[in-house]
Amino acid sequence: MTEAATAPTSSSPTARQWWTRTRGVVLALVLLLVAAVAIAAVRSEARHGRLDPRSADPSGSRAVARLLADQGVSTRVVTTLGEARSAAGPDTTLLVAAPDLLTERQQTLLRTTTERSGGRTVLVSPGPPSIGTLLPGVTADPAVSLDSTLSPRCELPAALRAGPADTGGLRYTTTDPDADTCYPSDGLPTLLRVPARSAGGDTVVLGAPDILANERLDEQGNASLALQLLGSRAHLVWYLPSLSDDSAGGTGDRSFFDLIPPGWLWGTLQLFIAAVLAALWRARRMGPLVPERLPVAIRASETTEGRARLYHKASARDRAAAALRSATRTRLAPLIGVPPARAHEPETLLPALAARLDGDPGTLLPLLFGPPPRDDAALVSLADQLDALEREVRIS
């Protein structure tokens, strides 16, 4: 006897099926996005007023502004490059709180102004994007200082009077022989004072903003160093660069991606990699399985023998016995007048079968609904008994 074999193939999935399969991944991505926005909101709230002389937050700089006011130094906050340039002068210290936020055009204009002002310019943690333009001849080292508190080790009077301070951060190198190189870490200074070539001014580079923060001002010699560096002139202009500054326009504009913090770019890349790995992990055949008639007919005995060998290789006697009993019950049900839908119910099948054979239903229960066989010999014996039962029912 032969039977037509069927094999699975695929068909295009519907929109509902796509949603059912991908909703877990979509939900995970939505949760990650919500978490990222929440974390960003919390962090932005916590960092509100960073290095702002009007802010009393731990990362603000209100304390140092108050101390400078007690010494007669006025502090003015500006947020545009035009205001910063117009305020620069011989009796003014111009502090740039975030030099890396300036575009190349803004950096060039600011350098032109400070070189001729005759005053002092203080750059707070300028990195590779800005230091080369704002202060030619100075470069930022890629490796930051591993120590926060450092000793002066220079002849700059302000550093000698302040003593150890929390200047550890970015480290710099300079080609100017007249520069004061202070608070070195592994041989590279974290504080520079570079005199101007004309007009008598100078530029101070701080590798870390810690000495200006409210929460660190009373530690080490931070307050002394901050007051001396910022209080050498009668006026202090505190420049907080703003992304909305009109002077950011021009050929030196940065792209949108240049303004995104590096952490967000790395985070987005990690989310993308995680999504790809999740897709590979959950990847399955596209569409539901449907039967398709093959051009070759396979004997039923060969199919049965092949499945039996798989069961034997996997020692799956429980599944083999369940398949034998289920097939026997399915074939016996129509012979004894039991509906096919109730062929696997002991309370329905066994009484009808016992009435047909004039036997006790209790003796048929372990045969048709019993536990799995203990070994291969018991499985063979079960198959023989089921075959004998089916023959008996057919001839009765």
pLDDT at residue 355 above 50?
yes
Residue 169 inside a domain? The answer is yes
Span 311-328, average pLDDT: 88
Torsion on CA atoms 332, 333, 334, 337, rounded to nearest 10: 120
Higher per-residue confidence, 6 vs 115: 115
Task: Indicate the average pLDDT of the chain.
Answer: 85
What contacts 236, CB < 8 A, 6 or more positions away?
A: 65, 68, 73, 74, 75, 76, 92, 93, 95, 230
DSSP letter string over 217-232? TTSTTHHHHHHHHHSS
Span 45-51, average pLDDT: 65
Q: What percent of the chain has pLDDT over 70?
A: 88
pLDDT in tens, 254-266: 566 666 666 677 7
Residue 134 inside a domain? The answer is yes
Same domain, 311 and 220: no
Same domain, 317 and 199: no
Same domain, 165 and 312: no
Of 239, 269, 286, the position where a domain reaches its end is: 239
Same domain, 225 and 312: no
Same domain, 230 and 338: no
- Specify the pLDDT at position 40: 65
- Specify the pLDDT at position 26: 81
Span 339-356, average pLDDT: 88
pLDDT at residue 3 above 50?
no
pLDDT at residue 37 above 60?
yes
The CA-based diameter of the chain, rounded to the nearest angstrom, is 122
Q: How far apart are the first and last CA of the chain?
A: 25
Of 184, 206, 239, the position where a domain reaches its end is: 239
pLDDT at residue 5 above 50?
no
- Specify the pLDDT at position 286: 59
Residue 154 inside a domain? The answer is yes
Span 285-303, average pLDDT: 72
Segments of the chain assigned E as strands: 2-3, 6-10, 74-78, 92-96, 120-124, 138-140, 172-174, 180-185, 188-195, 202-206, 235-239, 289-293, 298-299
Look up the domain containing 348 and give its range: 305-395
Higher per-residue confidence, 15 vs 117: 117
- Return the minimum-mean-pLDDT range out of 161-170, 213-222, 362-371: 362-371
pLDDT at residue 383 above 50?
yes
Residue 388 inside a domain? The answer is yes
Same domain, 171 and 313: no
Segments of 148-187 assigned E as strands: 172-174, 180-185
- Specify the pLDDT at position 6: 41
Of 239, 267, 295, the position where a domain reaches its end is: 239
Same domain, 122 and 231: yes
Residue 153 inside a domain? The answer is yes
Same domain, 361 and 229: no
CATH number at residue 231: 3.40.50
pLDDT in tens, 53-88: 999 999 999 999 999 999 999 999 999 999 999 999
Most confident of 3-12, 205-214, 294-303: 205-214
Residue 286 inside a domain? The answer is no
pLDDT in tens, 212-251: 999 999 999 999 999 999 999 999 999 999 877 777 665 4
Span 173-194, average pLDDT: 94
How many folded domains does the chain comprise?
2
pLDDT at residue 92 above 90?
yes
pLDDT at residue 289 above 70?
no
- Specify the pLDDT at position 18: 74
Residue 19 inside a domain? The answer is no
pLDDT at residue 143 above 60?
yes
Same domain, 195 and 314: no
Same domain, 310 and 233: no
Span 295-318, average pLDDT: 81
DSSP three-state, residue 126 = coil
Phi-psi region of 118 (alpha: psi -120 to 50; beta: other; left: phi over 0): left
Same domain, 93 and 222: yes
Higher per-residue confidence, 295 vs 78: 78
Residue 210 inside a domain? The answer is yes
Same domain, 124 and 205: yes
Span 20-48, average pLDDT: 72
Asked if 164 and 221 count as a contact pair (C-beta separation under 8 A), the reply is yes
